[in-house]
Amino acid sequence: MTSITTQTNTRGKAQRALAQKVQRLYKNQIGHSPGKVTCQIIDNTITVIAEDSLTKLEQLLLESEKDELTPLQVDVEQVRSDLETAIRPLFVDVIQETLSTNVVDVLSDTTLETGRTAIVAILADSPEFTSNDR
């Protein structure tokens, strides 16, 4: 993965590059490409939203028990949590390589009902861009 020199690129280009790299990361590591992935960089915070992020296996497990919260659904929540934990260091690498700054914290969660995943990364420094386009 190549680094984006933030001083010669716009915020919009960096956000699009990160969104594309996150989508590829999910496809390459989990075998599932989420739907739309959006990225926002504000100051030293990156927010990524991935639509349709649940794998086919997770969807199948959830479909098998549609009633109230069941032990099976709790297991799906644990599987998702484990996936997020496993992919976190790779996500950090993508950000650090793309923006040439350190990540100090990453928070993530997936809503099983909607299949949306939110990832928030806190950077050591705010990237500088040639323009604040959104």
More confident position, 28 or 76? 28
Whether the full predicted model's pTM is greater than 0.75, yes or no, is: yes
Distances 119 to 24, 50, 60, 66, 86 between C-alpha atoms, Å? 15, 8, 24, 26, 14
Domain map of the chain by residue range?
6-123
At 59-111, the pLDDT tens digits run: 888 877 665 556 655 688 888 899 899 999 999 999 999 999 999 999 999 99
At 50-64, the pLDDT tens digits run: 999 998 888 888 877
Q: Is the pLDDT of residue 132 over 80?
A: no
